[in-house]
A and B are shown apart, each in its own frame.
Chain A
Amino acid sequence: MKSLLKQISLAAMVGLSTPALASLAYVSNEKDDTLSVIDMETLEVVETIDVGQRPRGILLSKDYTRLYICASDDDTVQVLDLATRKIVDTLPSGEDPEQFALHPNNRHLYIANEDDAIVTVVDVNTKDVLAQIDVGIEPEGMAVSPDGKWAVNTSETTSMLHWINTETFEIEKNIVVGQRPRHVEFSRDSKIAWASAEIGGTVHVIDVDSLEEIRKLEFRVKGVNQDRVQPVGIELTSDGRYAFVALGPSNHVAVVDAKTYEVLDYLLVGSRVWQLDLSQDESLLLTTNGVSGDVSVIDVADLKVTKSIKVGRYPWGVVIAP
């Protein structure tokens, strides 16, 4: 109760200090070196922020006050203060950071260094590099389980999931999956991990207790050459009902029943759909479409694409802040 009160009063204070209260989405534009800020009420771009070179992975701090940005060609992680929308700090990231994941402790940032075959762990408060872990070639996807136990990295050319113990920073298991694994997403209860393989065209469902693959999903989009069906981003609804899988240059998002693993539908979005994120109330899903340079808006209740929003060149990542 006490903490709830604290949250309410904090929210009130934030409300006083910032004019905009609407939820905002942030989109990294890989070839424009900018972030597009989208107002989730009006679904329009309200601001474009200059950031470092080749921004790709982005994520929010657990208290939603900061946005971390992988500025790949600057070899750094930038910290954007959300209240002022200014870059306030940079973190040592190792070379060519592409994707990263923040531990629930809000301090340990796991960064995939694509050019160096390393995962770097940084304490965002002290900026200390806590560990550098050798992984496969072209480490790409990064995820930390919600219970904080596992950090998982995908290495694209090695085609493995590396399971890193977050206490010891050591790899405990390597799971070979389809070619070019891109992204890992944990279920809310940390029991299931979903991993996409772009060239393999598959999504691998891993049981976290046994660290075994329990299901391999394949996708067929009518009228699209099978080679172009390339799963990348994955997003899960918190109620365990749906998994959304971005299928890259097939320009579709697959809707998967997260319980039966059955593909329910394919939704046509923009060109080369890459990453996706759900709004706070999970009523809307945004997708970044690299080649068409826009963001598609999907109505989750109707499973319909309702709008596309023009952003910068080659939008890569998207996160939605409350």
Chain B
Amino acid sequence: MPLLSRTAAASLIFLMAISPLQAESLGVRIGYLQWVPDQGPVLSNVIPEPEDAGLRGAELAINDNNTTGRFLDQTYSMQREVADSPDAALAAFDAMRQSGIELFVVNAPAQTLRTIAGAAGENTLIFNAGARDNALRTGQCHVNLLHTLPSHAMLTDALGQWLNQRRWNEVFLITGPTEADRGWADAFRRSAKRFGLKIVEDKPWTFDADLRRTAARELPLFTQARDYDAVVVADVRGDFGEYVPFNTWLPRPVVGTQGMTPVTWHWVVESWGAAQLQNRFRELADRHMNSEDYAAWAAVRSIGTAVTALGTDDPEEIRSFLFSDSFQLAGFKGRKLTFRDWNGQLRQPIPLVHPRGIVARAPFEGFLHPNTDLDTLGFDRPESECRING
């Protein structure tokens, strides 16, 4: 950015601070990129993930921002690209940047996200609303990449804390065959170590039979062990995991990616005003709000919160505001949400839900942290090599 315009932006902020309601009109443009690969066929007839997961959350936040912007003479618009390949996503990213957009929400796998972040300019600001990979938070960080979606580790730490506080310390782990399954299971193994859980059996799922007919026969045998307090399933796409509950050798609860699940967001979350967010979303999208929707919503609302306070859409100004003490996102999770300054991860409570109700919400009382108990979930500063703010 040339020095002159940066000075101009700074003086605009100065003006805003004096009289935020008499500013000139401001149009904020945000790009939304989505590339979600096909998950492949699954054995169980699970309810498919909506194809516009993420997109509708971003749209809702644009509406929310505009309602606020109306009183400040600020308007928000979104360019969207639901790509059918990583290359198409990257091409759309370049095209949007050519048109002057520097604020992005990306819902794509880690590899695509890394490529996009690598192609970004110095002042581009990207929000990850699609990749849960731990590596993006531990080593492969990018200065202008923030994450509103929790990592696998944040989710499994929430589960680990819950198992610990229930004193259900011995678990039977079943891991599916996909890369995502292994990523989730690795995160859980780390959580088990952190929260003093013992994995008494650690078995990969290798069956390829259609469990709709044979679950009752296969699973009791598969889950035979001397004893355990719970079965933990790592089956991200819902291939076999839906058949584990009630079919275990011992009468034990099933948790993990099925049964009771740690999630970013779920339609059963209703406290702290969440009911209103859920209603607004249902009215817009005609379906329930899910985790990807929430992450995209939180990203666009973070931008909106910053623009409301700053009166500018300069990505650099927004970035430093998001990492300052003045930023707090009202995210309907009962706490103010802030970004970790070492790796750009949005701190947030994690609901633990079953398909029709909420069980608990992590972090739990008693898991202490010198700064904020929200940092007991996921990678704390010493556990991450990232220092994106120096």
A156 and B330 within 8 A (CB): yes
* Interface residues on chain A, size class: 20 to 34
Give A187-228 as 1s and 0s: 1 = Cβ < 8 Å from B's Cβ atoms. 000000000001111000000000000000000000001011
A160 and B71 within 8 A (CB): yes
Question: Would you call A48 an interface residue if the criterion is a C-beta within 8 Å of the partner chain's C-beta atoms?
Answer: no
Among the listed stretches A119-127, A130-138, A280-288, A303-311, which one makes contact with chain B, having 4 or more residues with CB under 8 Å of it? A130-138
Give A65-109 as 1s and 0s: 1 = Cβ < 8 Å from B's Cβ atoms. 000000000000000000000000000000010000000000000
Give the shortest distance, in Å, between B131 (CB) and chain A (any CB).
27
A-B residue pairs, 3 tightest by C-beta: A158-B68, A179-B330, A199-B330
* Interface residues on chain B, size class: 20 to 34
Binding site secondary structure of chain A:
loop
Given A117-B67, A199-B336, A176 and B273 contact (CB-CB distance below 8 Å): no
Question: Would you call B77 an interface residue if the criterion is a C-beta within 8 Å of the partner chain's C-beta atoms?
Answer: no
Q: Point out the residue from A96, A136, A176, A201 that lies within 8 Å of B67, measured CB to CB.
A: A136
Question: Hey, which chain B residues are within 8 Å of A117, CB to CB?
Answer: 67
Q: How far does the alpha carbon of A173 sit from the alpha carbon of B21 in the complex, in Å?
A: 9
Q: How far does the alpha carbon of A88 sit from the alpha carbon of B64 in the complex, in Å?
A: 37
Give the shortest distance, in Å, between A139 (CB) and chain B (any CB).
10
A156 and B328 within 8 A (CB): no
Interface residues in chain B, defined as those with a beta carbon under 8 Å from any beta carbon in chain A? 20-21, 64, 67-68, 70-72, 273, 276, 279-280, 283, 305, 308-309, 328-330, 334-336, 372-374
Q: How far does the alpha carbon of A240 sit from the alpha carbon of B309 in the complex, in Å?
A: 33
Q: Point out the residue from B68, B71, B279, B335 that lies within 8 Å of A157, measured CB to CB.
A: B68
Question: Hey, which chain A residues are within 8 Å of B330, CB to CB?
Answer: 156-157, 159, 179-180, 198-199
Q: How far does the alpha carbon of A171 sit from the alpha carbon of B328 in the complex, in Å?
A: 27
Give the shortest distance, in Å, between B269 (CB) and chain A (any CB).
16
B279 and A176 within 8 A (CB): no
Question: Which of B279, B280, B309, B330 has the most chain A CB within a 10 Å cutoff?
Answer: B330
Question: Which of A158, A171, A198, A225 has the most chain B CB within a 10 Å cutoff?
Answer: A158
Closest to A227 in B: B335
A137 and B373 within 8 A (CB): no
B334 and A156 within 8 A (CB): no
Question: Which of A114, A134, A174, A199 has the most chain B CB within a 10 Å cutoff?
Answer: A199
Q: Point out the residue from A134, A227, A249 that lies within 8 Å of B70, measured CB to CB.
A: A134
Count: A-B pairs, CB below 8 Å: 66
B273 and A156 within 8 A (CB): yes
Q: Point out the residue from B68, B72, B273 that lies within 8 Å of A180, measured CB to CB.
A: B273
Instruction: Apart from A159-B68, A198-B330, A199-B336, list 16 A-B contacts with CB within 8 A.
Output: A114-B276, A115-B276, A136-B67, A157-B64, A157-B330, A159-B308, A160-B71, A171-B71, A173-B21, A176-B20, A176-B308, A179-B305, A179-B328, A199-B328, A200-B336, A201-B336
A174 and B280 within 8 A (CB): no
B279 and A225 within 8 A (CB): no
B308 and A249 within 8 A (CB): no
Q: How far does the alpha carbon of A262 sit from the alpha carbon of B373 in the complex, in Å?
A: 29
Question: Hey, which chain B residues are within 8 Å of A201, CB to CB?
Answer: 336
Closest to B327 in A: A179
B71 and A179 within 8 A (CB): no
Closest to A160 in B: B71
23 pairs, CB–CB < 8 Å, chain A vs chain B = A136-B68, A136-B71, A137-B64, A138-B273, A138-B276, A155-B68, A156-B276, A157-B64, A157-B67, A158-B68, A160-B68, A160-B71, A171-B71, A173-B21, A174-B72, A176-B20, A179-B328, A179-B336, A199-B328, A199-B336, A200-B328, A227-B374, A228-B335
B21 and A174 within 8 A (CB): yes
B328 and A137 within 8 A (CB): no
Given A138-B273, A174-B71, A176-B20, A115 and B336 contact (CB-CB distance below 8 Å): no
Give the shortest distance, in Å, between B27 (CB) and chain A (any CB).
18
Question: Hey, which chain B residues are within 8 Å of A199, CB to CB?
Answer: 328, 330, 335-336
A115 and B280 within 8 A (CB): yes
A249 and B71 within 8 A (CB): no
Closest to A117 in B: B67
A115 and B279 within 8 A (CB): yes
Which residues of chain A in 152-173 are interfacial with respect to chain B, using CB atoms and an 8 Å cutoff?
Answer: 155-160, 162, 171, 173
Give the shortest distance, in Å, between B331 (CB) and chain A (any CB).
8
Q: How far does the alpha carbon of A117 sit from the alpha carbon of B64 in the complex, in Å?
A: 10
Q: How far does the alpha carbon of A174 sit from the alpha carbon of B74 in the complex, in Å?
A: 14
Give the shortest distance, in Å, between B162 (CB) and chain A (any CB).
19
Question: Hey, which chain A residues are within 8 Å of B305, CB to CB?
Answer: 179
Question: Hey, which chain B residues are within 8 Å of A136, CB to CB?
Answer: 67-68, 71
Question: Hey, which chain B residues are within 8 Å of A156, CB to CB?
Answer: 273, 276, 330
Q: Point out the residue from B64, B279, B280, B336 that lies within 8 Å of A227, measured CB to CB.
A: B336
Closest to B308 in A: A176
Question: Hey, which chain B residues are within 8 Å of A162, CB to CB?
Answer: 71
Question: Hey, which chain A residues are within 8 Å of B334, CB to CB?
Answer: 249
Question: Hey, which chain B residues are within 8 Å of A171, CB to CB?
Answer: 71
Q: How far does the alpha carbon of A159 sit from the alpha carbon of B326 in the complex, in Å?
A: 14
Closest to A134 in B: B70
Q: How far does the alpha carbon of A136 sit from the alpha carbon of B330 in the complex, in Å?
A: 14
Q: How far does the alpha carbon of A117 sit from the alpha carbon of B279 in the complex, in Å?
A: 13
Q: How far does the alpha carbon of A198 sit from the alpha carbon of B276 in the complex, in Å?
A: 16
Question: Which of B20, B273, B329 has the most chain A CB within a 10 Å cutoff?
Answer: B273
Question: Hey, which chain B residues are within 8 Å of A227, CB to CB?
Answer: 335-336, 372, 374
Give A40-66 as 1s and 0s: 1 = Cβ < 8 Å from B's Cβ atoms. 000000000000000000000000000
Q: How far does the alpha carbon of A174 sit from the alpha carbon of B279 in the complex, in Å?
A: 26
Question: Hey, which chain A residues are within 8 Å of B273, CB to CB?
Answer: 138, 156, 180
Closest to A72 in B: B275
Closest to A114 in B: B276
Give the shortest distance, in Å, between B25 (CB) and chain A (any CB).
15
Question: Hey, which chain A residues are within 8 Å of B20, CB to CB?
Answer: 176
Give the shortest distance, in Å, between B285 (CB) and chain A (any CB).
15
Give the shortest distance, in Å, between A11 (CB) and chain B (any CB).
42
Give the shortest distance, in Å, between A63 (CB) and chain B (any CB).
33
Q: How far does the alpha carbon of A200 sit from the alpha carbon of B328 in the complex, in Å?
A: 7
Q: How far does the alpha carbon of A174 sit from the alpha carbon of B64 in the complex, in Å?
A: 17
